[in-house]
Amino acid sequence: MNKDLSGIVLTEEQICEKVAKAAKWLDEKFAGTTPLCISVLKGSVFFFCDLVRAMKTPVQIDFMTVSSYGRSSVSSGMPKIVMDLAASVEGRDVILVEDIVDSGHTLVRMRDLITGRGAKSFTTVALFDKPSRRVVPVKADYSCFEIEDEFIVGYGLDYAQQYRNLPYIGILKREIYEK
């Protein structure tokens, strides 16, 4: 385990199981359609790649980069679109893939943007849900795992752009982000 972590939240095997379950849920919901799956970069990138490859439904993919944190571990409340989608969402069944729903600001921002652009349907899948941290009342349609108020890193999740390539997910020691 990385020395900056105080514990493991999900091992590679556990991530694999969660991804398979989420893919099955999506396959059932979207049978007979070709949804547009959107990865909210950068945090959801590995989850997204594993999830769409575990799906049997034919999908199209697109990416959007949203930044909310800077160097802090607390959301700014003003998620910024750093890179917009290439595809049009008009008339599309959109599946938004998020890493964590924390304050909820990012999810609300994405929902308003995508439904505002005329998507036919809007479904969100999140790897993690941190319900105790919610500021705006919103919930992903499917969350793989619920966690307490801990700061976690790995499998795409970062602190100050670090730890993203850990293959597992762990709790970052408080002394790292409180110093």
Q: Which of 26, 39, 43, 96 binds ligand IMP (CB under 6 A)?
A: 43
Q: Is residue 105 part of the contact set for ligand IMP (CB under 6 A)?
A: yes
- What single-letter DSSP state applies at residue 87? S
In the complex with Mg ion, the residue whose CB is nearer, 92 or 105, is 105
102 is catalytic: yes
Q: Is residue 68 part of the contact set for ligand IMP (CB under 6 A)?
A: yes
Is 156 within 8 Å of 99 (Cβ atoms)? yes
CA distances to 3, 72, 144 from 97, rounded to whole Å, are: 29, 23, 11
Is 91 within 8 Å of 37 (Cβ atoms)? no
With CB under 5 A as the rule, give the number of residues binding Mg ion.
2
Nearest partner of 52 among 40, 61, 43, judged by Cα = 61
The footprint of ligand IMP (CB under 6 A) covers 43, 68-69, 75, 79, 98-107, 151-153, 157
The footprint of Mg ion (CB under 5 A) covers 43, 99
